[in-house]
Amino acid sequence: MASNESTTPSMTATAVSIKPPKTVYLIRHAESEENRRIAALSRTFKTLGRFSLPKSADVYASTELLHVQGQVDSNVSEIGAKQISHMKHKLQQDDFVVSSGIQLVVHSPLLRARQTSEGMLGCLTAASADHDGQLSDLKAESVKRVVQTNLLLEKTPSEWTPLYYAGFIQRIQDFEKWLWDQEEETVALVGHSQFFKAMLGLNFKFGNCEVWKVTFDPSKVAKESGVVSATTIDAAQDEKKEDFTANLSHGNEWKLPPQWTNLEKKYTCDVASSSKTI
C-alpha cells in the first residue's frame, strides 16, 4: 500500500462527515542527538552563569548545533536508543499494539520518529530517501497500514516566527482534516513535542517516548461552528493557560480544543533524557 502521504486536502464544513470518534495514541520520539546537544548548551550557559568553566564535552556538543541540517533531521541519541529498547519491552509485555486495537500507525518522516516507530511499535514505512519504493512496509500483524506524512513534521525554525506561525497552525489543521478522512478508528501517531503541544493547546511538552491517549472527533466542531479553524485552536489555548497544573496520569481532565477530549497518559519512559542542569 502506498505509504507516503504528502497532500494537504482542504475540507469545508459540509465535508466534515459524522462518524465514530477516533481513539488516538500520541507518542513522542526518543531523545535525539538534537535534544542531547540542546541539553548540553543549556548546561553550558547555566555553568557560565555561575562564573564557572563548563565541561569540554558540553561545549563540544553545543558547537555541533551549528550543523543546522543535523538538527533538523538527527538520529536518536545513545540515551534515545536505550529509551526505545526500554519502551519496546514495556509495550510488548502488555501486547500494546494488539490490545489497544491499533489499525493505523502514522509517523513523521524525520529519522528520530521513524526509528522510534520501528523500535516501539514494530511499524515503519519503506518510503524514504534511502529506498527505491520496492520494499514493503514493516508493520505489526494486527496493523492494517503504516503511513508517513510531512504534515506531522516538527515545528520548523521559521514557524517559530510571527510571519510563519499561521502556516504552522494551518499545517496542524490540514493534518487533523487528513486524519479524520482515514477509515481506521484507532490510530497511533509517532511525532514531535512542539507539534503535539500546539495541536492540543498544551503548555507543556510530552516526554521522550511517552504514550498518551486522546479522543478525536471534529464532527461536533463542525456542527457547532461550521469549521475547524485556527481561531478555535488559538482561543482554546488562550482560555486555558492558567489551567495546566493537574497531573494527567492521575485522571484529571484538561480543557482541550473541542475536537480533542479525554487526554490521558498511558506510559512513561523510565529512562531519563539528558539533563539540562548539572
The Cα 127–Cα 180 span in angstroms is 23
Phi, psi of 4 (to 5 degrees): -120, 105
**Cα–Cα separations (whole angstroms), residue 201 to 171, 194, 197, 204, 241:** 15, 10, 6, 9, 9
For the segment 169-185, what is each residue's pLDDT rounded down to a tens digit?
Answer: 999 999 999 999 999 99
pLDDT of 136 strictly over 60? yes
Note the pLDDT of residue 249: 42
Q: 26 and 211 in contact (C-beta within 8 Å)?
A: yes
Task: Give the residue with greater pLDDT, 40 vs 258.
Answer: 258
255: confidence class by pLDDT, cuts 50, 70, 90: confident
Q: 146 and 125 in contact (C-beta within 8 Å)?
A: yes
18: confidence class by pLDDT, cuts 50, 70, 90: confident
Note the pLDDT of residue 248: 46
Note the pLDDT of residue 253: 58
Q: What is the mean pLDDT of residues 13-29?
A: 82
pLDDT of 85 strictly over 50? yes
Note the pLDDT of residue 52: 56
| Global confidence as pTM | 0.74
Q: Which burial class, exposed, middle or buried, applies to 12 when counting CB atoms under 10 A from its CB (0-12, 13-18, 19+)?
A: exposed
Helices H / strands E in the chain, number of each:
10, 7
Note the pLDDT of residue 16: 56
The Cα 228–Cα 18 span in angstroms is 14
Note the pLDDT of residue 35: 62
As a whole-number percent, the residues of the chain with pLDDT over 90 amount to 52
pLDDT of 8 strictly over 60? no
For the segment 235-249, what is each residue's pLDDT rounded down to a tens digit?
Answer: 444 444 334 433 444
Select from 9, 24, 34 the least CA-distant residue to 216: 24
pLDDT of 202 strictly over 50? yes
Q: What is the dihedral of CA 266, 271, 273, 278, to 10 degrees?
A: 130
Note the pLDDT of residue 160: 78
